[in-house]
Structure 1
């Protein structure tokens, strides 16, 4: 583990814009190369930052990596909070959340790659983040409230665990984004194509809302030819 260089006096904190630039660069570098392959000197150069200052304020390469993980989680949680789900009818709120979850991973491949690297490490570094706990609870509570409102309106089925529901939604969205390359080869079709993405996007919504509302998915399919 790299350790910070010694300093006779406390270094000043990086300016907010400089910190944002360092973290954005770190996210890209760690997403592309993982913790082992990423280099702090590359991050410093591309962020136009002082390498010694990065070490001083993030403590080590590993500390910067944890900060990069927190950055991507912070971003997706902040965007979820802005969806105004509490002010939306339950079915529409759930549809909006599912669509957002899918669109986010498609539009942010660095998020997918960074989490893939951390999963290979068995979430060793994510476990050290105290900030992650503060991000998790509001999300689960938000989904629980939508589910409760849907049950009260007679729309959603009972006994749906919000954490399990989130895992299912994330799985359906994340798998497509993380496996587009291999699935395209295996299936012989380009899953990067806009039409393929739109088709799967609509399918994820149908699957989740069909489950939550107990609707028979076959009722929405065209009748087979006679």
Structure 2
């Protein structure tokens, strides 16, 4: 009886793999994302990841090849999830000023509530981006953010609201920089200046001010005056 129970336990990952391969793969990615975000590529161990999943170490290698392959897919999946969320905002039918503010504030919220995403980006920058997925693999997902900004900016410029001479890539840089710092430097900033900005009221104010700063950078001078009014 004991032998049979042990066999069932050993065979459980195989049954899960055969019955729900997509679910098993998603489970591995979720656990691996937490492990890599907390311990980095070097510190995270495949054995520890496997122990927290519904599968085995062998199946992790089956799906992802090796630890670096798993890490690359975790990065790609993290970017993919953010772009999918952006695509649900329905910004195309929104006035350009409102759409740009909504995208900036969404990015602030996403980064604030997805600290593992920021940690993964920080870790990959330490590695000089050498483990980032191939551009062809993630450029489609990432370019959706640029397409959103191009549409918003073009509509705003054509309506005489936004000043000419900017690019969607630059706007994406400015939005990302403001929202990234809020998470990436929270620990050191709080140690030096206190944590008032990271309490609920402080975060609400920063979120609004990120939208304000992006709009003031993009708006025509006379439209900035209207926004202040």
Q: Same fold (TM over 0.5)?
A: yes
> Which residue among 175, 183, 197 is the counterpart of 1:191?
197
Count matched residues: 211
Instruction: Give 1:189 shift.
Output: 3.4
Contact 1:181–1:191 under 8 Å retained in 2? no
CA deviation map 1:105-162 (0-9, x unaligned): 0010100111110000011010535321111222212211110100111111111111
Q: Equivalences for 1:53-68 in 2 at 5 Å?
A: 53-68=59-74
**Which is worse superposed, 12-21 or 31-40?**
12-21
What's the counterpart of residue 83 of structure 2? 77
**Which is worse superposed, 130-139 or 172-181?**
130-139
Gap runs ≥5 in structure 2: 1-16
Instruction: Give 1:59 shift.
Output: 0.4
Q: Equivalences for 1:167-186 in 2 at 5 Å?
A: 167-186=173-192
What's the counterpart of residue 207 of structure 1? 213
Contact 2:149–2:168 under 8 Å retained in 1? yes
Contact 2:32–2:74 under 8 Å retained in 1? yes
Contact 1:180–1:191 under 8 Å retained in 2? no
Contact 1:156–1:213 under 8 Å retained in 2? yes
TM norm structure 2: 0.86
CA deviation map 1:7-52 (0-9, x unaligned): xxxx969611111111000100000000000011111111121110
d(CA) in 1 for partners of 2:188 and 2:197? 10
Gap runs ≥5 in structure 1: 1-10, 222-226
d(CA) in 2 for partners of 1:13 and 1:64? 22
What's the counterpart of residue 143 of structure 1? 149
> Which residue among 128, 133, 137 is the counterpart of 2:134?
128
Root-mean-square deviation (Å): 2.0
d(CA) in 2 for partners of 1:112 and 1:95? 21
What's the counterpart of residue 160 of structure 1? 166
d(CA) in 2 for partners of 1:174 and 1:84? 23
Name the structure where helix makes up a greater proportion of residues. 2
d(CA) in 1 for partners of 2:19 and 2:167? 42
d(CA) in 2 for partners of 1:110 and 1:193? 19
> Which residue among 95, 101, 105 is the counterpart of 2:107?
101
Contact 2:91–2:99 under 8 Å retained in 1? yes
TM norm structure 1: 0.87
What's the counterpart of residue 51 of structure 2? 45
Instruction: Give 1:176 shift.
Output: 1.0
CA deviation map 1:162-207 (0-9, x unaligned): 1011011000000111111111111133333111111111111110
> Which residue among 116, 135, 139 is the counterpart of 2:122?
116
